[in-house]
Amino acid sequence: MFNDKNEYVTLLRDVDATQVPMGTKATLKKGDRGQITQALGGNFTILYHGNLFQIDKKDAEAIGKKIEEEAAPLPINPNGNVNEDSIWDVMKTCYDPEIPVNIVELGLIYSCEISSLDDGGTEVNIKMTLTAPGCGMGHIIAEEVNQKIMNISGVSEVHVELVWDPPWNQMMMSESARLHLGML
């Protein structure tokens, strides 16, 4: 995994990106330079012309990085049920593009409910929040959570709901997250 956040890169082709934190789509142009500020969960955050942009992992080669292979679907429990620990582990691979701590350790996941469907599949309902209600990246982070949970064997439906009550605050972060961010 890439972790030298001071690396400058030259775009090898035009690439679609999402401006952080507004969530607006943009195209970064071939030949321009940027600085990688974060590379976690497979995605890259790049400082480009004074603004932050997230580049999806599928476009890693546009900045000269190797595309990470998707992990094989995670197994179900021997009893045929989806393993809740697998869901939490998968959510720990999702990151806010501005903060180098996963969304679970940030305290953004409020609940994870698993239920069996009549057809034998499993439905997962996630309630999550953001560090700021006006963050335009919410739908992008929620979609990443959805996609990664859908990769778990036995999961047939995922619903990720953004909620604002209770409002997020820094005390919701794990102790290790606060330590990592220099808040302890």
- Check pLDDT > 70 for residue 112: yes
Indicate the residue type of 114: I
Structure-block tokens of residue 63: 């900045």
Cα gap 80→129, rounded to integer Å: 30
pLDDT-based confidence at 1, cuts 50/70/90?
very low
CATH architecture assigned to 8-63: Roll (2.30)
pLDDT given for residue 4 in this prediction: 53
Indicate the residue type of 65: K
Angle value at C-alpha 46, between 177 and 32, nearest 5 degrees? 170
* Residue range 162-183, pLDDT digits in tens: 999 999 999 999 999 999 999 9
pLDDT given for residue 93 in this prediction: 95
Per the CB < 8 A criterion, the answer to whether 123 and 117 are in contact is yes
- Between β-strands 155-162 and 122-128, what pairing exists: parallel, antiparallel or unpaired? parallel
Q: What is the mean pLDDT of residues 108-134?
A: 94
> Which residues are CB-neighbours of 16 under 8 A, at least 6 positions away?
25, 26, 27, 56, 59
Rg of the chain's alpha carbons, rounded to an integer? Answer: 17
The sign one gets for the Cα dihedral 160, 164, 168, 174 is: negative
Angle value at C-alpha 26, between 25 and 28, nearest 5 degrees? 145
Phi, psi for 37 (deg, rounded to 5) = -105, -20
- Check pLDDT > 80 for residue 117: yes
Mean pLDDT of the chain: 90
pLDDT given for residue 184 in this prediction: 78
Give Cα separations from 171 to 90, 175, 177 (angstroms).
23, 9, 10
- Three-state DSSP class for residue 16: strand
Residue ranges per structural domain of the chain: 8-63, 84-180
- For domain 84-180, the question of CATH label 3.40.1160.10 is answered with no
CA 20 to chain centre: 13
